[in-house]
Each structure stands twice: as C-alpha cells, then as structure tokens.
Structure 1
Amino acid sequence: MAKSTPAPAETTPVADFEHSLDELEQLVARMEGGEMSLDDSLSAFERGIGLYRHCQQALDQAELRVRLLLDPEAPDQAAPFKPGEN
C-alpha cells in the first residue's frame, strides 16, 4: 500500500503577505548592492513589481476588512483609521 503524502499546509493571508514583503526587501537589498548583471537586475525588478502589487492588494483587502468591521452597514463611509487614535 502506498503512503499518502500530506497536503501542503495553506498559508494565512498574513503569513503570505509577510513572506512576500520579506522577499521584496531581500530583493531590493541585492539590487542596491550593485553586483547584479543588467539581465538579472531586470528580472529582479520584474519580480519586485509583482511582489509589490501582491503586497498592495493584501493591504487593500485588510483595509476593506477593517472598514467592514467598523461599519458593516456602510463600509465606504467608515472613517479612515489614523494611528494614535483610541
């Protein structure tokens, strides 16, 4: 009888965001080092744009969730969160 392989663990949206952000930061650090070829730099830039867009989309979704929690009846009219307010 063949062993079944366990299904890969699904990542949470927060963990996925943090992983993408970490990868983006590492990519930027490598690019800032100035040791990459032009072709590698272009590939890294393309990957970085994809990671940036993914992170921005995750932040937009998180903001929508917060707005829905603050005012489920009218999320578009919920006051934006300002750091330092209680």
Structure 2
Amino acid sequence: MAKKTSPDASPVARFEQSLDELEQLVDRMEQGEMTLEESLSAYERGVGLYRQCQSALEQAEIRVRLLSDPQNPDSAEPFAPLPDGN
C-alpha cells in the first residue's frame, strides 16, 4: 500500500506517492479483469494522478531554476528532454 502523506504536503512531496499509485493502477488495468465501471473509475483516477505528477514536476523545475539563479530565474534554460531510449 502507498505511503500516506500529510494533507498539507506540497505537490512535489506527494509526487512519489502519486506516481506509485498511478503505476499500481495501470498494472491493475493491464490485467484486464476490471469491469467497465471499474475501468472508467480507474481511468479517471489515473488522469488525476497524472496531472498531480505533472504539476509536481513543473513546481520542482521552478524550484531548481530559482536555486540555480535566484537573482534571475527567468534566464534559466528549459531542461532538455531525456533521450527516448529506443
């Protein structure tokens, strides 16, 4: 079961919990044993978790930019995408 975080924890602090829950949800959906209603509910939850993770990553990037150049955070270059690995 996923770790519990305090309700006032930042999105960055909740990132790992959300990602873990999303991975578990995808695993359950891939097994193909859910009803249509369960699948729809799982999909809706998954979209919400994905959005939470995306928001946390955006906030983490902002924090890194501020730490890199606190006097001029807008001068920071966007992070380069990771190689696809294919």
Which TM-score band (shorter chain)?
Answer: 0.7 to 0.9
Change (3 A) 1:68 1:15: closer
Consecutive unaligned residues of structure 1, counting only runs of 5 or more, are 1-8
TM-score by length of 1: 0.75
TM-score by length of 2: 0.75
Question: 1:81 Cα deviation (Å)?
Answer: 4.2
**What number of residue pairs does the alignment pair up?**
75
Q: Which residue in the other structure is 2:28 paired with? A: 30
Question: 1:79 Cα deviation (Å)?
Answer: 2.5
Aligned-partner Cα distance in 2 for 1:33–1:76:
45
The alignment-based identity, stated in percent, is 67
Q: Which residue in the other structure is 1:52 paired with? A: 50
The answer as to 2:38 corresponding to 1:40 is yes
RMSD: 2.0
Q: Which has the higher contact order (CA 8 A, sep 6+)?
A: 2
